[in-house]
Each structure stands twice: as structure tokens, then as C-alpha cells.
Amino acid sequence: MILKTERLALRRLTLDDAENMALLVNDWDVAKVLARVPHPYSRDDAIWFINDVTAKDLPAWGIFTDRMIGVVGTEDHLGYWLGKSYWGKGYATEAATAALDYHFSDGKNAKIVSGHLPGNTASRHVLEKLGFVETGLSKTYSTALQEDVDHIDMLLTRAAWEAKRS
């Protein structure tokens, strides 16, 4: 299944994507704002991730223009990242919109959570544009930083999403 937007195609990841994925996310500026990503990030890390989401049939997609630029998913939360050279172009909002449309399309999901690490104002801006609202502060373990860090928790309800999309 491929999700299409005006500028992007979101498709399931394959092992052929592992090398590009590793190159994009093995950037400290990318990894340090993601809780679950180790640094350095190797091709083997990408292979593990791709195999995991494939085996569990999780809602996760590679984000593509004419090449891979990032990943978005809605497993237990909305998560996304883009390679640094693709920041600031609206791709995160566009990809997340397609993923959220998919998430809410089955009629079963009443909400989804997400969030960001303090200081990641770009991600906060994306989430606010999507309609997420802040619900609190928690702690999470940052694999890249190898320590517990603050996490700003955010929530989007189906009702808010449908109101935003209509």
C-alpha cells in the first residue's frame, strides 16, 4: 500500500531502503531529538527496524520524493523523522497528515499521542499544525543521549482531526 500526497509517496519499508535510511538518521542533529534512535545508527539498525515493522505489520512508511527522505509511523504514537537536508520544507506535516488520515480511517481509533523533546520547536510546530494539544510532561529514555530526558506529551483526538480536515 502506498499513501500519496501532493509531493510525497509513503510506502512500506523494504530491506533495499536500509542503506539510505541509515545514512539519513545517522546524523547527530537528527538522532539527538528522537527518543528511540541509537547513535551511531548503522545499516544493521535499519535492517532490524525494517524487519520488526514488517514482521509485526506495523503502520510505518518510508517517506519518498524521488528518493527516501525519512520515516513516519502510527503504531502506538505518531512518530516521524526526516533527513536534515529535508527539514523546513513542510514534508513532515505533509507525511504526518497522510499517516493520520490512514490512522483515523478505520473508525476504531479515537485518538493518538505524540510529543517532542524540549527544544525541538520544529517538531512542536508540526504537531500543533496537525491539531495536537499538549497534555503534560513525562520522562523517556533517549537511546542516542543514553539518559532519561523530559518529553512533552501531546494528544490528537479523532474529533479534532475530523474538524481540522473538514
CB of 134 closer than 8 Å to CB of 116: no
Rounded mean pLDDT of the chain? Answer: 97
The model's pTM is 0.96
Range 45-72 average pLDDT: 97
Nearest partner of 102 among 72, 135, 71, judged by Cα:
72
**Amino acid of residue 21:** M
pLDDT of residue 1: 79
pLDDT for 56 beyond 90: yes
What's the domain range around 36?
2-165
Q: Give the count of domains, the chain.
A: 1
pLDDT of residue 107: 86
Q: How far apart are CA 152 and CA 138, in angstroms?
A: 6
> What CATH number has the domain bearing residue 83?
3.40.630.30
pLDDT digits (tens, 9 = 90+) for 92-119: 999 999 999 999 998 899 999 999 999 9
